[in-house]
Chain A
């Protein structure tokens, strides 16, 4: 019973703050609402018996990625960008499309997508079990991710370089 209360409270928080992310005009408010939504999702992961993933969600998403977003928003000084409605047809099609997508998705989930494996499966998702799976079955993808992150760092550095610097030593290279 208590579990259900927690589920509905934090599901409501996640949905409401996600709506604020999409609707609000000020990107800083959007980013902070997104952090709240991520925390609510971390509670969902705890309810799903995956506390390690909840910790990862808080550290990586709410901690690292959202700080990056806030940094860029403040760096570009985007505090108040008014967004006049210039293409009403496009807006209407977007809202209709998203609503239709949501209704279809929920209809088919409730109709067909739930699988019943029969009896509660044994699900231990602590750090030890995750580590064993990660370094036995997924060691190669794990190493590939490190190369991906290195490539992302180099790409971000080159992209955010000042154009004059590129022009200056572009000929030398």
Chain B
């Protein structure tokens, strides 16, 4: 049986890669995919702890996170389509209308 902490470390690495993408990239779609990466790292952590504790409630969280991520992807991509129609780009630095 593989130790739980190894899965936690894998989740931490994937989450950090997602953080790196959100902080450094400017392509909106790529930033969005980095967010999905972070969501999946959290899911892995939830399932690792669910096995460690012998509880199914962690898996329920993963189920609801997946549903919320699907809703988030649909609305977020619709926002990018609307942004592209207005600005002809999805570079997030260009979307600065509400910037101070």
Contact = CB atoms under 8 A, between A and B. Distances in A.
Q: Is the interface of A mostly helix, strand, loop or mixed?
A: helix
Contacts of B73: 65, 68-69
Given A45-B47, A123-B54, A129-B56, A65 B70 contact: yes
B93 to A, nearest CB: 7
B53 A117 contact: yes
Nearest to B29: A27
Contacts of B62: 53
Bin the interface of chain B by size: 35 or more
Given A44-B7, A129-B56, A153 B74 contact: yes
Contact of A30 (B5, B30, B67, B90): B30
Nearest to B4: A114
A102 B13 contact: yes
Interface string A43-60: 011011110110011001
Given A53-B47, A113-B8, A123-B50, A68 B74 contact: yes
A56 B62 CA distance: 10
Nearest to A33: B33
B98 interface: no
A132 to B, nearest CB: 9
Contacts of A110: 5, 9
Interface in A72-125: 72-73, 75-76, 78, 81, 83, 86, 90-91, 93-95, 97-99, 101-102, 105-106, 109-110, 113-115, 117, 120-123, 125
Interface in A120-141: 120-123, 125, 129-130, 133-134, 137-138, 141
A53 B74 CA distance: 21
B84 A76 contact: yes
B21 A22 contact: yes
Nearest to A150: B71
